[in-house]
């Protein structure tokens, strides 16, 4: 197994918690790149303080998911009321350092932080609206870039550059898809733009 994406489409049946714990343990033992999103984050929020440090993993919360993680791990509340990007950046860094796991906070600007305090900001122009399923595209793209980057450096050092590359690719694809389809844009429109954006990047 080259990389794991845990969360999209998982559901919240309590019995799934055993699967989540098993996958996290597997990633810890094998150093397989692990991206945790969506319902995977839902299951981790209550036990996040007890999670092992995972240099090979990256959490990809949106703001609601991020607020739950911050409350559980840092005892910080009312995160959803924070609009200052510098404050959010500090929180993402603190969360990553506390957990020993990299964090990719999705938002107006994507914030990628690792446990060593390294931070990158993904602020490429995207589209005015985030369509359903766009987070799943981020998860899959991030797993791919994390695997590629880990072949050049350690997984611990790969999370931030992989996260930034993912942010840039998905945002550029979303911009092109919105330009073509307007507000009727759906996730498959974004996915169709990936080859064109990759060609531009390779030039």
Kindly report whether the global pTM for this prediction surpasses the value 0.85: yes
% of the chain at pLDDT higher than 90:
85
Mean per-residue pLDDT, 169-193: 96
* pLDDT at residue number 51: 84
Residue 80 scores a pLDDT above 80: yes
Give whole-number Cα distances, 106 to 8, 116, 170, 199, in Å.
Answer: 15, 20, 11, 25
Domain spans of the chain, in order of start: 4-202
* pLDDT at residue number 48: 85
* pLDDT at residue number 47: 85
Helices (H), 31-154: 38-44, 63-74, 85-99, 134-150
* pLDDT at residue number 112: 98
| Mean pLDDT taken over the chain | 94
Mean per-residue pLDDT, 82-109: 97
Residue 31 scores a pLDDT above 80: yes
* pLDDT at residue number 130: 82
The hierarchical CATH code for the domain 4-202 is 3.40.1190.20
Residue 126 exposed, middle or buried by CB count within 10 Å (0-12, 13-18, 19+): buried
Residue 202 scores a pLDDT above 90: no
* 113 close to 89: Cβ distance less than 8 angstroms: yes
* pLDDT at residue number 132: 87
% of the chain at pLDDT higher than 70:
100
Digit-coded pLDDT (tens) for 4-16: 999 999 999 999 9
Digit-coded pLDDT (tens) for 135-168: 999 999 999 999 999 999 988 899 999 999 999 9
């Amino acid at each position: 197994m080259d990389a794991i994406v845990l969360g999209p489409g998982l559901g919240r049946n309590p019995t799934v918690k055993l699967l989540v714990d098993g996958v996290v343990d597997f990633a810890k033992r094998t150093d397989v790149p692990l991206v945790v999103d969506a319902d995977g984050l839902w299951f981790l929020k209550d036990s996040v303080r007890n999670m092992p440090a995972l240099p090979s993993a990256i959490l990809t919360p949106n703001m609601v998911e991020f607020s739950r993680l911050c409350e559980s791990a840092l005892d910080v509340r009312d995160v959803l009321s924070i609009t200052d990007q510098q404050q959010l950046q500090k929180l993402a860094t603190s969360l990553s350092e506390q957990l020993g796991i990299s964090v990719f906070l999705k938002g107006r600007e994507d914030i990628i932080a690792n446990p060593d305090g390294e931070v990158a900001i993904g602020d490429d122009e995207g589209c005015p609206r985030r369509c359903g399923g766009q987070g799943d595209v981020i998860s899959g793209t991030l797993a791919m870039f994390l695997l590629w980057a880990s072949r050049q450096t350690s997984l611990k050092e790969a999370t931030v550059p992989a996260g930034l590359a993912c942010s840039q690719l998905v945002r550029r694809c979303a911009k092109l898809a919105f330009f073509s389809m307007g507000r009727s844009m759906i996730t498959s429109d974004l996915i169709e733009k990936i080859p064109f954006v990759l060609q531009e990047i390779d030039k």
